[in-house]
Amino acid sequence: MDPIAQETSTQMQKVLDLLHQDLGTIRTGRATPSLVDHLEIMVYGGTTKMKIVELATVMASDPQTLTITPYDNSILGEIQKGIMEANIGFTPSNDGSVIRINIPALSEERRKELIHLMKQKLENGKVMIRQARQTAMNEVKKDEALSEDDIVRLEKEVQKVTDDFMAKIDTLGKQKEEELLKI
């Protein structure tokens, strides 16, 4: 693979990884650690801002319940307060050593809203992929050492990489939509 196409592929993979992580934050009615592990919480008397994943173990104990076990029990209340303040629609309960979050079932209307949000995120990912393609195409056209045939070949190679990543985004979207529609 040409260095320009290789660099474009690397940039597009970063976009795909970011999109995958972003889609993980959309709740599907099932308990998954990615729903809360990215939340930043002020701990130790408001002096330090850290992500929950840095402060505790987050596990799905069953399909409807998340358990958060802090590494330091002294910050249990602060984690609970931080989740409440994040305003993500969860009500954590604290039993003195573990925080439990019951994930309510999604209504049909809420599922449709989340599918709409997911489609917006997918479209943003596709826009970033197209921007990476445009940057690569401009580099190909600027390279004066390339013949006309090489330019055409490289443009086709970049377009093939782009098409592959667009298909991956579509597949990711279909999987997430199936998760959202599953009751």
Q: Would you state the pLDDT for residue 110? A: 83
- Report the candidate in 63, 54, 56 with the shortest Cα–Cα distance to residue 103: 63
Q: Tell me the chain's radius of gyration from C-alpha atoms.
A: 22
Name the one residue in this structure whose structure tokens are 């439990």.
100
Judged on CB neighbours under 10 Å (0-12, 13-18, 19+), 116 is exposed
Q: Which residues pair with 66 in a beta bridge?
A: 60, 101
132's tokens: 């990476």
Domain boundaries, the chain: 3-24+107-181, 33-102
The winner for highest mean pLDDT among 28-32, 61-65, 81-85, 125-129 is 125-129
Which top CATH class is 3-24+107-181? mainly alpha
Q: Would you state the pLDDT for residue 183? A: 62
Pairing of strands 99-102, 65-70: antiparallel
pLDDT tens string 44-67 = 888 889 999 899 999 988 888 999
Sign of the C-alpha dihedral computed for residues 15, 164, 33 and 58 taken in this order: negative
For 137, what's the count of Cα atoms within 13 Å in the CB-facing half-sphere?
Answer: 13
pLDDT beyond 70 at 102: yes
Q: Would you state the pLDDT for residue 170? A: 96
- The dotted CATH code for 33-102 is 3.30.1360.40
Q: Would you state the pLDDT for residue 2? A: 83
Q: Would you state the pLDDT for residue 34? A: 82
pLDDT tens string 140-165 = 888 888 888 989 999 999 999 999 99
Give the mean pLDDT of 87-95: 85
- Report the candidate in 19, 24, 10 with the shortest Cα–Cα distance to residue 170: 19
What pTM, to 2 d.p., does this model score? 0.71
